[in-house]
């Protein structure tokens, strides 16, 4: 152990007792006129969620510093206390005993010292080996430079960790002419990890020119941080790396491990959020703690055309190790598809995804995610469809479920794959392919899947579906979430999203689970091998007027092998 707990606290206490302006370059659109919304939010709120996390009003973005402490889960997140657009950012704070129902508290971290007076941006919690949580976060100083600060709980016997105190000698890491760090591209510290040499390491997202960087700092005492000559990893042409996340995963196990775990049965994951495109990507690879470098596995694609946790609207995500249940949990921000003027009218913007358990697939080539099991306790009335063949061109309506607030699980089996359409070798981008071949474009094996948030006359619906193609030497399964008909309001972003799914339709069923929550459709394909979250704003398919269908718009029959849908109860969130 580098430092003992007593020593660490003595050091911190003694620090507590002693004691040129950049244009603010934010990663979010800043509109000074809109930053404090003047309109009164509408009373009519058909799009607020029932079981996805959101505060009562205002703008939210990145999840920050998630952790479990003394049996209580903590979610902090970027929040504008003054309006429904980005600005005036603080760390809002809620706690939970089950990751489903939440109690709000006062903001944990808000501007109060020179090193964060212009904003408290994203960061992470590290649990010290003796159990104390410590936050590292990005502060915006009076010169609008991005610097890294430390905060720790005021009262460790309070499991809710209501009050946080900042180190008076913040910042601990800052850009300077010596370290050549770009002061407007230096943010979002990861959870730190402790190396076998007893030294802490942490990553900060950055860039030089168009090269994305995970800058590495090391510290013996968590206070004095020295920048390493080399970043842990970097990749050309990726632009600014926001919210990096770096963690170990076990080979051949679904269990999560502490962020400092190393060993022969461990691989590492590096995820970055790309400021330029607002998509994320991750690679799986090997971490060498002696050289402090990370090398992605051969064949990894270093761009958002590579592996993604979520192929839809999902950004600035962060994982934490849940030591209560030995799992790693992923949180992500489901950003908006509505325009700022509509956000101001409704009085809020942004929601958090359902927390997902995340682990390494048995292939070792990708991660798998699944909604935390706890969410199932919100399942109420269940509807079940018997096994049946759904003929080409037909659809069937599922009644008896609250279709605007539901958890739907369905599996399909296709027996005659001979008729699969040939995959054109130029169709390499699944998102582009889903736009080209929307749900209304007839195929042979697909499109088949779900029409969710569908209006009575099908003027509006969001289609989540599969198509099966014949590739060069195997069948290729495409999963799409098609928002092109999701709303009659044309202000909304209706991009269709897609992913190729690593399942073998010859031997495996094609499963699909959609969590529907008024303005959210969060879909898990192939048991969580591909996930697509969508934000939709139907104008007709609202509350009791929303319907659910299973459809097959291909020429070939598909078999529904199982189907259950549950009305979801409301969680206590705000």
Catalytically annotated residues: 62
- Interacting residue with ligand DQQ among 59, 62, 115, 514 (CB under 6 A): 62
Query: Least Å distance between CB 337 and ligand DQQ?
Result: 16
Q: What angle do CA 425, 428, 429 make, to 5 degrees?
A: 150
Q: Locate tokens 């319907």: which residue?
A: 547
Contacts of 140 (CB under 8 A, 6+ apart): 24, 116, 117, 118, 119, 120, 121, 146, 147
Q: Check binding of 245 to ligand DQQ (CB under 6 A).
A: no
Mask of contacts with ligand DQQ, 105-124, x by CB under 6 A?
Answer: ----------------xx--
Query: Least Å distance between CB 23 and ligand DQQ?
Result: 16
- Interacting residue with ligand DQQ among 27, 190, 219, 319 (CB under 6 A): 27
Residue 39: left if φ>0, alpha if ψ -120 to 50, beta else—which one?
beta
Query: Least Å distance between CB 187 and ligand DQQ?
Result: 5
As a 3-state breakdown, the chain gives helix, strand, coil percent values, each rounded to 5, of 5, 45, 50
For ligand DQQ, the binding residues in 159-188 under the rule CB under 6 A are 187-188
DSSP assignment of 292-322, as one string?
A: TEEEEPTT---STTSB-S-SSS-EEEEEEEE
Cβ-based nearer residue to ligand DQQ, 235 or 316? 316
Dihedral sign, Cα of residue 386, residue 387, residue 388, residue 392: positive
Cβ-based nearer residue to ligand DQQ, 78 or 219? 78
Separation CA 49–CA 52 (nearest Å): 6
Number of residues counted as binding ligand DQQ (CB under 6 A): 16
Mask of contacts with ligand DQQ, 417-456, x by CB under 6 A?
Answer: ----------------------------------------
Give me the phi and psi of 213, to 5 degrees please. Answer: -130, 140
- Interacting residue with ligand DQQ among 37, 80, 94, 138 (CB under 6 A): 138
Residue count (the chain): 574
Cβ-based nearer residue to ligand DQQ, 188 or 342? 188
Q: Check binding of 61 to ligand DQQ (CB under 6 A).
A: yes
Structure tokens at 571: 């969680």
Are 89 and 35 a contacting pair, CB within 8 Å?
no
For ligand DQQ, the binding residues in 266-295 under the rule CB under 6 A are 273
Mask of contacts with ligand DQQ, 479-518, x by CB under 6 A?
Answer: ----------------------------------------
Query: Least Å distance between CB 100 and ligand DQQ?
Result: 25
Which residue of the chain is nearest ligand DQQ when measured via CB?
A: 121
Contacts of 162 (CB under 8 A, 6+ apart): 93, 105, 106, 108, 155
Query: Least Å distance between CB 169 and ligand DQQ?
Result: 22
Q: Encode burial over 281-303: b for 16+ CB neighbours within 10 A, e otherwise.
A: bbbbbebeeeebbbebeeebebe
For ligand DQQ, the binding residues in 292-351 under the rule CB under 6 A are 315-316
Contacts of 459 (CB under 8 A, 6+ apart): 485, 488, 540
Query: Least Å distance between CB 121 and ligand DQQ?
Result: 3
Separation CA 187–CA 434 (nearest Å): 34
Cβ-based nearer residue to ligand DQQ, 60 or 478? 60
Q: Check binding of 243 to ligand DQQ (CB under 6 A).
A: yes
Positions that interact with ligand DQQ (CB under 6 A): 27-28, 61-62, 78, 89, 121-122, 138, 187-188, 242-243, 273, 315-316
């Amino acid at each position: 152990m580098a430092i003992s707990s007593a020593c660490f606290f003595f050091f911190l206490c003694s620090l507590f007792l002693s004691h040129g302006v950049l244009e603010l370059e934010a990663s979010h659109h800043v509109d000074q006129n809109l930053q404090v919304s003047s309109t009164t939010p509408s009373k009519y709120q058909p799009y607020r969620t029932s079981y996805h996390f959101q505060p009562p009003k205002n703008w939210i973005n990145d999840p920050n510093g998630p952790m479990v402490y003394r049996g209580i889960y903590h979610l902090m997140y970027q929040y504008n206390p003054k309006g429904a657009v980005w600005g005036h950012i603080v760390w809002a704070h809620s706690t939970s005993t089950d990751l489903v129902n939440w109690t709000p508290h006062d903001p944990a971290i808000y501007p109060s010292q020179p090193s964060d007076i212009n904003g408290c941006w994203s960061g992470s919690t590290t649990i010290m080996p003796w159990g104390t949580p410590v936050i590292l976060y990005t502060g915006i100083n009076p010169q609008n430079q991005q610097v890294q600060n430390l905060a720790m709980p005021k009262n460790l016997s309070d499991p809710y960790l209501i009050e946080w105190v900042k180190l008076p000698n913040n910042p601990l890491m800052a850009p300077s002419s010596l370290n050549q760090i770009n002061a407007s591209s230096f943010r979002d510290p990861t959870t730190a990890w402790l190396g076998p040499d007893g030294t802490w390491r942490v990553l900060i997202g950055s860039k030089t020119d168009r090269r994305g960087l995970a800058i590495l700092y090391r510290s013996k005492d968590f206070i004095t941080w020295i920048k390493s000559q080399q970043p842990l990893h970097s990749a050309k042409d990726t632009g600014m790396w926001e919210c990096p996340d770096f963690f170990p995963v076990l080979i051949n196990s679904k269990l999560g491990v502490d962020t400092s775990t190393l060993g022969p049965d461990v691989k590492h994951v590096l995820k970055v959020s790309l400021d330029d495109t607002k998509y994320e990507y991750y690679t799986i690879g090997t971490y060498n703690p002696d050289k402090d470098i990370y090398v992605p596995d051969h064949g990894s694609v270093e761009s958002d055309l590579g592996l993604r946790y979520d192929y839809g609207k999902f950004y600035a995500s962060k994982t934490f190790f849940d030591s209560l249940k030995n799992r790693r949990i992923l949180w992500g921000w489901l950003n908006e598809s509505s325009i700022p003027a509509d956000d101001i009218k409704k009085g809020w913007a942004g929601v958090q995804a359902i927390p997902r358990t995340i682990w390494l697939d048995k292939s070792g080539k990708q991660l798998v995610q699944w909604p935390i099991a706890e969410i199932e306790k919100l399942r109420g009335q269940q509807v079940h469809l018997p096994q049946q063949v759904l003929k080409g061109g037909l659809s069937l309506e599922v009644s008896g479920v609250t279709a605007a607030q539901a958890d739907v699980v369905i599996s399909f089996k296709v027996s005659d794959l001979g008729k699969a359409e040939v995959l054109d070798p130029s169709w390499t981008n699944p998102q582009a392919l889903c736009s080209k071949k929307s749900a209304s474009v007839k195929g042979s094996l697909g499109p088949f899947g779900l029409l969710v948030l569908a209006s009575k006359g099908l003027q509006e619906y969001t289609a989540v579906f599969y198509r099966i193609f014949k590739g060069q030497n195997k069948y290729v399964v495409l999963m799409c979430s098609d928002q092109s008909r999701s709303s009659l309001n044309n202000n909304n972003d209706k991009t269709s999203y897609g992913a190729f799914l690593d399942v073998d339709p010859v031997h495996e069923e094609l499963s699909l689970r959609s969590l529907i929550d008024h303005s959210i459709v969060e879909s898990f394909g192939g048991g969580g091998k591909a996930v697509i979250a969508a934000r939709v704003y139907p104008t007709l398919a609202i509350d009791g007027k929303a319907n659910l269908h299973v459809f097959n718009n291909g020429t070939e029959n598909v078999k529904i092998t199982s189907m259950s849908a549950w009305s979801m109860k409301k969680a206590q969130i705000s």
